Amino acid sequence: MKRRDVILFVGIIVASIIGTKTFAEPLRKHSSEEIGAEEVERIIKTIKNNPEFSIFYNAIEEAELSKEIAKLDKMTLMIPSNKAFRLLPEDVWENFMDEDNKEDLVKLLNYHVIPEKVNFDDLNRADNLETLQNQSVKIFKGEDLKIENAVVQEKHEETSDVIIYKIDRLIMPL
């Protein structure tokens, strides 16, 4: 096993210990309508212009995720703050950003995209949500509203097709 593979593997284990788990769900077909190119560009610009989301922005650019986002008709983005990314060991994040691990980066980022618009009231009523990765993530209600182990800190922006929430941890697959 190559050194970067070992570091990536250890990072996924560490992130799992930090507290996130997911369960497989059947593949859901999405609407044939798409968010307009202008809307996608505005969303990407909103993320780019927020200094708290700069690491996420760099990751979606590296993963070319904006192309996948453009295929959706509605979406909810759970964006980890830069502080959330810094919870990962540095070598682990560097490996995700390595060109050879682009597929793993795409999978990781897809856990942060819900292919439907989920307002805050719906989040509070839901028990789980399906991600763009076709995996279910659990919703926990209590003192804080959590998606897996990530606390929903604030609603950052909302349009007719998109809601962006800031979260304090990465949502990671096991």
Domains of the chain: 3-11+34-167 (2.30.180.10)
Q: Are 46 and 164 contacting, i.e. CB atoms less than 8 angstroms apart?
A: yes
The helix (H) or strand (E) run that includes residue 75 is: strand 75-80
In Å, the largest CA–CA distance within the chain is 47
Joined together, the tokens standing for residue 97 give: 């950003």
- pLDDT over 90, % of the chain: 43
Alpha helical stretches, state H, the chain: 3-19, 37-48, 54-63, 65-69, 82-85, 90-97, 102-110, 120-125
pLDDT category at 173 given cuts 50, 70, 90 is low
Identify the residue whose tokens are 């609603």. 155
pLDDT category at 72 given cuts 50, 70, 90 is confident
Residue 44 to residues 19, 52, 97, 158, Cα–Cα distance (Å): 28, 14, 18, 13
pLDDT category at 128 given cuts 50, 70, 90 is very high
Residue 148 has pLDDT above 60, yes or no: yes
Residue among 59, 46, 149 nearest 110 (CA): 59
pLDDT at 41: 78
Q: Are 156 and 166 contacting, i.e. CB atoms less than 8 angstroms apart?
A: yes
Joined together, the tokens standing for residue 24 give: 């497989």
